[in-house]
Amino acid sequence: VVKTFLDFNRPVELQLREVDLGHLAKEVATLVHPEARRHSVEVAVEAEQDVFIRGDRDLLKQAMLNVVANGVESMKDGGLAKIQVQRAGDDCLVGISDEGPGIPPEIRDKIFNLYFTTKVKGSGIGLAMTFRAVQLHNGTIDFSSEPGRGSIFWLRFPASGRDPLETTGTAQERIEG
């Protein structure tokens, strides 16, 4: 517990580069697919092209994976988990939704706290780490939840300012690349 706490609070040296959030969302969907299949959950990705931020690819992938995995695990009777990626003015948005039981109102203000968990075998590190990763990228994270109808988390990041017309290759080549 002490080691985790110290690791969590240690300064992070970000490895910044251009990150295509749509491509990253597809990678996360692929990573979570085996677990989703065990829960009878379909994971869908809806991504606009050329949604880039400047960020640490690995940290962002882990942050998205934490939220998607939580959503998949929450759907005991199957359902749909969706990752949406889009531009919104000068920002890039990643929406991650599930059809789980929702987050009870009495714990909503605690879910990003380190070591807070509702899972029997949970560590309480996932959403705290996601919150920190989003903050390190000058972003914000918010969510809405309705009991019995699921939750949606919105990760908002400043766009990189990259001009999609200056990129090389087709959008499909960049996705596969």
| 11, pLDDT greater than 80 | no
Q: How far apart are CA 24 and CA 175, in angstroms?
A: 9
Query: In the predicted model, what is the mean pLDDT of the chain?
Result: 86
Q: Give the lowest-confidence range in 79-88, 119-128, 134-143.
A: 119-128
pLDDT, position 47:
97
pLDDT band of residue 138 (cuts 50, 70, 90) is very high
| 110, pLDDT greater than 70 | yes
DSSP state, 139? -
Q: Which residues of 63-102 are buried (b: 16+ CB within 10 A; e: fewer)?
A: bbbbbbbbbbbbbeeebebbbbbeeeeeebbbbbbbbbbb
pLDDT, position 177:
37
Q: Please indicate whether residue 60 or residue 176 has the higher confidence score (pLDDT).
A: 60
- Section 106-112 average pLDDT: 92
pLDDT, position 125:
81
pLDDT band of residue 168 (cuts 50, 70, 90) is very low
Instruction: Give the whole-number percent of the chain exceeding pLDDT 70.
Output: 81
SS3 of residue 87 by DSSP: strand
pLDDT, position 114:
80
pLDDT, position 170:
37
pLDDT, position 8:
59
| 12, pLDDT greater than 80 | no
